[in-house]
Structure 1
Amino acid sequence: MAVYLPRIHSPADLKEIPFEELPQVAREIRETIIDTVSRVGGHFAPNLGVVELALVLHYILDSPRDTLIWDIGHQSYPHKILTGRYERFSTLKQFGGISGYPDPKESEHDPFMTSHASPSIAHMTGLTMAREFKHETDRRVVAVIGDGGLTGGLAFEGLNNAGHLKRRMLLVLNDNEMSIAKNVGAISNYLSRVLSTPLYNRLRKELETFLKHIPLVGGSMLTAAKRFEEAMKNLLVPGIIFEELGFRYLGPIDGHDMNILRSTLTNALKMDRPVLVHVLTKKGKGYPPAEKNAYKFHGAKPFDKLTGVSRPSGSYNVMSYTEVFSEALIELATRDPRIVAITAAMPDGTGLDKFAEAFPERFFDVGIAEQFATAFAAGLAKGGMRPVAAIYSTFMQRAVDQVIHDVCLQDLPVVFCIDRAGLVGEDGPQHHGAFDLGFLGNLPNMHLMAPKDEQELRDMLATALSLNHPSAIRYPKSRGLGVSLRDVQILKIGRAEVLEEGEDVAIFALGSMVAPAREAVTALHAEGIHPVLVNARFVKPLDDELISRVAHRVSHVITVEEHSILNGYGAQVALSLARQRLRGVQLECMGLPDLFVEHGERGLLLTKCGLSARSIMEKVKSCLTLKT
């Protein structure tokens, strides 16, 4: 039973608690996270690892007057609990509940809606400069970035610019994989405390001033002194790269020792320059199963909190589209040694972990670096390989320039397998894949497909790998339909498939929307209504011939897609009708609305967005009413 958390409605309430009582607050936060995530799922191990860090930061800062930015934001649960959301934390990621990421609409303590990696340093730098322009330099800005987020190119662009500007700001590097440094201990903790004290930094500045004023040799003596200091620090701690970029480096320190955190961070905030504090934390801290297997518990499904064993979440007889893709790629790679696979830090989520086991030498995890992944794939393709880059739709947005310039402009046979296309459910607007058709569908040389079921995904993968041009296949975060699987077949490029002949109204459904459209058509048959049903298959090249043939026979064409209605498949069909001067048919487009759809269970969100079988039925009936 929580004692302190019910009293904490803001960080100001936290400061009323004696510092020596914070370990009890930390225990209550961990218990709350374990209770909630074991029930509803969510990012688990990363949040257990930053409890002490979040506590100390809010204890010494004055949020929201001071700003605290969490890069990616998947580790913001302790922050949410400490900023007035404890009572609602049980609604985490549920429809109408709190988000799994920071959200300014949810709290004034969340400056940005985040979920993608690496922008926090740029956000911190921009806010710092804005406050200087507004004469608010007493308002402090702090960003927390993980060692994974630091692998993104944007993070190094941020470090370069922040260091160049030389303004007061604090960056906390949360190193929870020990991938940057392992030499934590008494010596590095002691050295960090010494290097962060006002006395040391005052003496350091006075020595610099003194040496600069010594005629002839002062400059060389100052250079030698700095090199000696850097050499000694680099011998014990690994921060020289940050010093070279203009940051004062402190660390690594124990991220679970609140006394060390408090003294180091407090001193760092007093420095009049960019400071980076390197904090070592343990993913899953306080929950033994997560400490032993932090990878499994990074993003956890509901589990038994006593044992850590995942709870069943429905039938496993039907594979997910991700699993189908994974098996098909392994099958095809067995036949073709040119096939290689690339992921940007998502081997498990994209299903490529199985490929890595089967073909370790042909698998590349490039980290959180979608731009590199795409340009790297271009290089592989140019060298005669057949690269398959499996990337979530939301993260493909990060590599648009490389897709255009390095792949499509060069007309290289790179295959993009776009997972999580459409609504992803509980991860919300930051992760919905609503825009990929828009930025891929107008690119010369691109071939763009979406499967209606598991077998068609297999066929499309084989088809894409047979092309000598760029291609992309989009598929949803869901289980398949349970269709029987056969060997792959190469599809005719740009050809749609008529599933049901009919009259008056034609439904052109794309990918995941074929199933609800089929359900709607079956129900309409019982009412004596017989629309044409087309499985679109290709967004580019479009089947203009079939569109023309069908449009000449019906009064209304309805397009249905799990994508933004503004620039997806429906928009391409509209252009086709206009291009062919087919003025005698009315077009109705069904898709995701022009807004960022909130988080919630995927089926519920599809219904809310008007993409259920019932919504399709109603649209057909309304078209027939208009006709009469």
Structure 2
Amino acid sequence: MKFNLLNSIDSPNDLRLVHTEDLKKLAKELRDYIIHVVATKEGHLGASLGVIELSIALHYVYDTPNDLLIWDVGHQAYAHKLLTGRRDQFHTNRQLHGLSGFPNRNESIYDAFGVGHSSTSISAALGMAIASKLEGNVDRQHIAVIGDASIASGMAFEGLNHAGVTDANLLVILNDNAIGIDPSIGSLKQYLTQVKKGTQKQDNIFEALNFNYSGPIDGHNLPLLISELKRLKSIKGPKFLHVITTKGKGLKQAEENQVTYHAPGKFNAKTGELHPKSAVEQAPKFQDVFGHTIVELAKKNKKIIGITPAMPTGSSLKYMMRDIPERAFDVGIAEQHAVTFAAGLATQGFIPFCNIYSTFLQRAYDQVIHDVALQKLAVIFCLDRSGLVGEDGSTHHGVFDIAYLRCIPNLVIFAPRNEIELRNIMFTAQLGIGTPIAIRYPRGRGTLLDCKQPFSEIPIGTSVCLKTGTDLAVLSIGTIAKNVTEAINLIPNNKNIAHYDMRFIKPLDEGLLHKICSSFSKIITVEDGCSNGGFGSAVLEFISKNNYSNNIHIIGVPDQFIKHGTIEELQKSVGLDVNGLVNQIHEIN
């Protein structure tokens, strides 16, 4: 496959030397290159295919990196990376020691702002625009490209609201493709659809916010994009360009099945067909255990409600949305709203399961405290993607949840060891425990082929002994117990090593801890969360409070942001893999 034009571009300066009539050919090469690499290396596909022409036009018209370009929802930015000197490294995208899957300030001067979560671009670009104004740099341009449904987030409107009363040199480009990871929802989507069809009769919402509005225009028409961007450069103050694109543009399957081809895994680059799944029976994904279990419970308990902020496929709430649509809600990219919406339902006696990725719950921390825990409302938080999540890297690892939730009064925190435990704690929580509860579980598959066993209630604050011992007690939380068990089994003469699955981070099984502290001279805690302020810290606090003098060692994620790689590679890098645990346990033993 030849990439003659693309291979001649090592920076946007090279791009600007390309004749305009050749840009269409460059767009095809970019699409083919992204498809070729992602087909074998995996990654996000549809979003970047949809903004090829826009990426070319932006770097063609604007003087990047002097002009500041900020991408919202960073998985749109693959073409941007290829045009800004990272073509030859692109095959390392999302791999250990390779390129980040998202814009990253440490990676390139062309990445003006690091993005992994959504809806941050307008606020960041406005801050940069105000900074340029204060420094007297009146010619610098500031462009925020917001797309994949992130315009509907509250933070995006906070940024628009502020920008509209400034004279900042800011251009907001709405990449309107009517879909995020799943199809967009809500009245704003309906409004934008009407704008595109020319049937919207109300005042333009963006003009009402004091933006100079242009569009909608075809986001795949390069000459039109270039012409419009050049025109907008001369207009002062906040501007808004509405661009219509097709997610997955240029690959038939990606256009027709946008949800699957958002991040399709490996596929045939020539035909676009996905590689067939393994015929070997595999344990279910934790997200699917959640998804099927909530349907099973909701069919018996009419008070159960399912809620997710824009992740029905990723969280598998899609099953409840299919089977019981009147009680399953995708609220869009709006984590704060999701939590307080759940709180409102709880005040009326409903049982809301608020299903949010661990890293995204961070965005609703105030609501967890004030709107749920302070009022002791029985919201059930199901935190998908807890722990190290792999190739999405530092913006997506769910390693902080134990630490940031553990300090909140009235909140129970549970980590299931396996799929059966996840089912049982969901069953227990919907029976009513009198407080909110956070249930954290990892990305990926479990270990049990047949986890759909009859439900069993789990007493709050109880643990399980997995192995008896005499001198060293290893206390683990959640699915990391599997690695711990394998590690202990590899240690010769391990009869003195006991292993406990503590299950509850809060409340701790204090009765068991008293026995452990009285019986074992050495204690090791193991968690797939941050070691500062996490489960191990909770055990240390218990030991200090009760004046025990045990030798305790905490194993967890160190006090640093962990980059991207496979989960296995990242566990190895922080000593949470089996061999790493063998070495640490053996040394302490």
Same fold (TM over 0.5): yes
**Residue type matched to 2:586 in 1?**
K
- Listed as ranges, the gaps of 5+ residues in structure 2 are 180-188
- Structure 2 equivalent of residue 136 of structure 1: 137
Equivalenced residues, count: 575
Matched, 1:482 2:448: yes
Distance 1:513 1:147, change over 3 A: closer
SS at match of 2:499: strand
* Partner in structure 2 of residue 587 of structure 1: 552
TM-aligned CA deviation for residue 590 of structure 1: 0.4
Whether 1:241 and 2:242 are equivalent positions in the alignment is no
2:535 matched residue in structure 1: 569
1:17 and 2:28 aligned: no
Which amino acid letter does the alignment assign opposite residue 9 of structure 2? I
Query: Among residues 459, 466, 475, which one is paired with 1:508 in the alignment?
Result: 475
Letter in 2 for 1:598: K
Contact 1:508 1:560 in 2 (8 A): yes
Matched-pair contact (CA < 8 Å) for 1:418–1:472:
yes
Aligned to 2:74: 73
How far is 1:310 from its partner? 2.4
Amino acid in the other structure paired with 2:487: A
Structure 2 counterpart of 1:153: 154
- Is 1:339 matched up with 2:350? no
Give 1:311 shift: 2.2
Residue equivalent to 2:88: 87
CA distance, structure 1, for counterparts of residue 458 and residue 145 of structure 2: 48
| Contact residue 194 and residue 200 of structure 2 kept, 8 A | no
8 Å contact 1:453–1:483 — kept in the other structure? no
* Alignment of structure 1 residues 418-567 onto 2, 5 Å: 418-466=383-431, 467-482=433-448, 484-485=450-451, 486-524=453-491, 526-567=492-533
* Overall identity of the aligned pairs, in %: 40
Matched, 1:181 2:227: no
Q: Which residue of 1 aligns with 2:62?
A: 61
Structure 1 position 184, deviation (Å): 7.8
Runs (4 or more) in structure 1 with deviation over 6 Å come to none
Q: Where does residue 28 of structure 2 map in the other structure?
A: 27
Change (3 A) 1:154 1:504: same
The answer on whether the counterparts of 1:42 and 1:301 sit within 8 Å (CA) in structure 2 is: yes
Write out per-residue CA displacement over residues 402-447 of structure 1, whole angstroms, 9 at most, x where no aligned residue. Answer: 1101110110110000000011101000100011111111111101
Three-state SS of the structure 2 residue aligned to 1:448 is strand
Pick aligned residue for 1:389 from 347, 354, 376: 354
Question: What is the CA-CA distance between 1:84 and the residue it aligns to?
Answer: 0.5
Structure 1 CA distance for aligned equivalents of residues 359 and 581 of structure 2: 26
Task: Tell me the residue number matched to 1:326.
Answer: 291
| Residues 481-523 of structure 1: per-residue CA shift (max 9 Å, x gap) | 1264311111111011111110211100110211011111212
Q: Hey, what's the Cα distance between the residues in 2 that align with 1:498 and 1:312?
A: 41
TM-fit CA distance, 1:453: 0.7
Which residue in the other structure is 1:44 paired with? Answer: 45
CA shift, 1:620, in A, is: 2.0
For the structure 1 residues 93 and 469, does the alpha-carbon distance in structure 2 shift closer, same or farther, using more than 3 Å as the test? same
Cα distance in 2 between the residues matched to 1:279 and 1:475: 38
Cα distance, 1:239–1:522 mapped onto 2, change above 3 Å: farther
Q: Give the corresponding residue for 1:275.
A: 239
Cα distance in structure 2, aligned partners of 1:316 and 1:401: 42
Task: Work out whether residues 455 and 483 of structure 1, in 8 Å CA contact, stay in contact via their aligned partners in 2.
Answer: no
Q: Distance in 2 between matches of 1:389 and 1:474?
A: 12
| Residues 47 and 148, structure 2, Cα contact 8 Å, conserved in 1 | no
1:309 and 2:273 matched: yes
- Are the counterparts in 2 of residues 548 and 582 from structure 1 also a CA contact under 8 Å? no
Contact (CA 8 Å) 1:462, 1:490: kept in 2 or not? yes
In the other structure, the counterpart of 2:184 is none
Amino acid at match of 2:428: T
Residue 495 of structure 1 contacts residue 543 of structure 1 at CA under 8 Å; is this kept in 2? yes
Cα displacement string for residues 368-406 of structure 1 (whole angstroms, at most 9, x for unaligned residues): 000000000001111111000111001000110111011
Does residue 261 (structure 1) correspond to residue 262 (structure 2)? The answer is no
In structure 2, how many angstroms separate the alpha carbons of the residues matched to 1:184 and 1:448?
Answer: 45
Q: Which runs of 5+ in 1 are unaligned?
A: 189-232
Q: CA RMSD in A?
A: 1.6
Contact conserved, 2:55 with 2:80, CA < 8 A, in 1?
Answer: yes
Deviations 1:152-191 (A, max 9, x none): 1000000010111122211101101184434688x98xxx
